[in-house]
Amino acid sequence: MTALALILAAIAGLLHVLFFKLESLDWRKPAAWKTFGVASQADADTTAPLAFNQGFYNLFLALGTFTGIIMVAASNTHDSIGWTLIVFACASMLAAAVVLVASGGRPFARAASIQGLPALAAIVASLAAAS
């Protein structure tokens, strides 16, 4: 179960690295802003500072997850700090997905699922593995 939990957490973390790339590095490129439903280049330029900041939130969640994964993988025992980092970071990812769908409604359900379901799976598997 530990391996499955770490793989699921890594998937959630890698998705958030991708979100960082799209939001913080590529936001002004049409392929990136269209992914998020931004209507025009002018709108992308206007929202770029917000997207840049949001991207770093996603990167920090991913780094917390990866740190937890490394701590668990390197430990000979059930490392509670590593599991705590994984669960906390993935729970934050899941909470952000809930906020996304709650604030944007049905049009954001797919994006919220992509963001939240891997995190939810990682949380469930991590709690099972850590106990």
Over residues 20-32, the pLDDT tens digits come to 999 999 999 999 9
> Residue 104: its pLDDT value, please?
85
Per DSSP, the residues of 22-86 read IIIISTTSHHHHHHTT---HHHHHHHHHHHHHHHHHHHHHHHHHHHHHHHHHH-SS--HHHHHHH
Q: What is residue 3's DSSP assignment?
A: H
The whole model's pTM is what?
Answer: 0.91
**How many CA atoms does the CB half-sphere of 57 hold within 13 Å?**
11
Q: Taking residues 25-51, what's their average pLDDT? A: 94
Per-residue pLDDT for 77 more than 70? no
Q: Max Cα separation, the chain?
A: 53
- Residue closest to 51 by CA, chosen among 62, 38, 64: 38
Q: What is residue 21's DSSP assignment?
A: I
